[in-house]
Amino acid sequence: MDPHVTEWLNLAIRWVHMIVGIAWIGASFYFVWLENNLDRRKPREGLSGDLWAIHGGGIYHLEKYKLAPPQMPETLHWFKWEAYTTWLSGIALLMVVYYLNAELYLVAPGSGMGATTAVAIGVASLICGWLIYHALCESPLGQKPGLLGGILFVLIIAAAYGLAQVFSGRGAFIHIGAIIGTIMVGNVFFVIMPGQRSLVGALKAGTEPDPTQPAKALLRSRHNNYFTLPVLFIMISNHFPSTYGSEYNWAILAALAVLSVMVRHFFNTRHQSQKYAWTLPAAAVGMMALAFVTSSAQISSTPGGDHAHDEPIAFDNVYSIINERCTVCHSDNPTNPAFKSAPGGIAMDSPKQIQQLASRIHAQSVATQAMPLGNITKMTQQERDLVGLWIAQGASVN
């Protein structure tokens, strides 16, 4: 496919994905907040609570029924298209970016895996992720939310570890995000919406609604709420090679998921009590600890320690490596047919450009080895070490 067409497909789908994703996340956050902040002290008969709020210059009064009102209201607003279009646009983006360029973005360098096999594994992971999750929720574990949450966390991180063995770091991360996103939309399609339809159907028929379906829907809705922040991190993670490019990327993802859930829990409970107020500062300390750990790993990846007495690396040698391994893509005129212009606007055609990008080259190609993408130019470890040593010596181009 023409790289210009691919770029604009990527842009258009990503923009749609963001728009509808914001709508879905906003609705999810609002209704969980609403549920957590209902005044349940002296509810009117038939209600489980109510809430007064002010926004945009107006005062609102919202009421929640214990199960359903005596009769169907004339107008009832449903929330479903946000979830479906977020998932559909996300899958389209996965196909355009990762599946159409599997050798570049998806397959782990040196794995020898074919693009078709990699795509098949990716699709199978989405299907299996939903089936396993749904089976666990429908099992007796569904009555033990804490234990269920712990088991789900372990399984998701196990999937991250497994996918990191066959996919690139970026490919593994994005598929964990896609698995969680599939679980979230599966909750809406297979549990939340059927539960709401049964409730409305009972109202129309004048029969007593089944309370078990709304209870299941509420549990799945809460799952979706806590899944949101880890998924948002995964969506932006491809900009940060110290996370997905690390040898322990699965463990970094696990830590970030825990910190994300802690932040979400703070916002879910902060109006009820200060019992979990500690989770926000703890998450901040955790982020700083992760930054320190990943920084130490990058520093240790530079050959040696004191380079003052090492033989100076001639820039001509580095320039030759960059030209052979990097400017295939990162050039004003890339020779790689997948790109019409330098990815991210990062070109390495001149010595000055290379010198200015030295720290980024170290992060991407030496410390994490996330670049070249899929190692399509077959950059060797010896070449990475030489570039790293040149950077450690001051990245001189003279």
How would DSSP label each residue in 7-53?
HHHHHHHHHHHHHHHHHHHHHHHHHHHHHHT-B-SSPPTTEEEEEEE
CA distance 315 to 312: 9
Question: 41: which residues sit within 8 A by CB, 6+ positions away?
Answer: none
Instruction: Identify the sign of the CA torsion 385, 388, 392, 398.
Output: positive
Whether 232 and 336 share a structural domain: no
Whether 233 and 357 share a structural domain: no
Whether residue 163 is contained in a domain is answered as yes
Whether residue 287 is contained in a domain is answered as no
CA distance 12 to 17: 9
Q: Which of 197, 223, 239 is the last residue of a domain?
A: 239
Whether residue 193 is contained in a domain is answered as yes
Whether 154 and 35 share a structural domain: yes
Whether residue 176 is contained in a domain is answered as yes
Determine the pLDDT at residue 296.
57
Whether 91 and 230 share a structural domain: yes
Q: Give the count of domains, the chain.
A: 2
Whether residue 141 is contained in a domain is answered as yes
Check if the beta carbon of residue 345 is closer than 8 Å to that of residue 334.
no
CA distance 214 to 208: 13
Question: 355: which residues sit within 8 A by CB, 6+ positions away?
Answer: 395, 396, 397
Report residue 56 as tokens.
């945009």
What is the rounded radius of gyration, in angstroms, for the C-alpha atoms of the chain?
A: 25
Whether 235 and 150 share a structural domain: yes
Whether 24 and 170 share a structural domain: yes
Whether 195 and 105 share a structural domain: yes
Return the DSSP state at 397.
-
Determine the pLDDT at residue 333.
93
Q: Which of 214, 239, 264 is the last residue of a domain?
A: 239
Determine the pLDDT at residue 133.
98
Task: Spell out the per-residue pLDDT of the chain, length 398, in tens.
Answer: 677 888 899 999 999 999 999 999 999 999 989 998 999 999 999 999 999 999 999 999 999 999 889 888 889 999 999 999 999 999 999 999 999 989 989 999 888 899 999 999 999 999 999 999 999 999 999 999 999 999 999 999 999 999 999 999 999 999 999 999 999 999 999 999 999 999 899 888 888 888 888 889 889 999 999 999 999 999 999 889 889 999 899 999 999 999 999 999 999 888 777 889 999 999 999 999 999 988 755 554 554 455 545 789 999 999 999 999 999 999 999 999 888 899 989 999 999 999 999 999 998 999 888 999 999 999 999 999 999 999 999 999 98
Determine the pLDDT at residue 146.
93
Check if the beta carbon of residue 177 is closer than 8 Å to that of residue 169.
no
pTM: 0.88
Q: Which domain holds residue 113?
A: 3-239
Whether residue 263 is contained in a domain is answered as no
Whether residue 299 is contained in a domain is answered as no
Q: Which of 239, 272, 305 is the last residue of a domain?
A: 239
Whether residue 269 is contained in a domain is answered as no
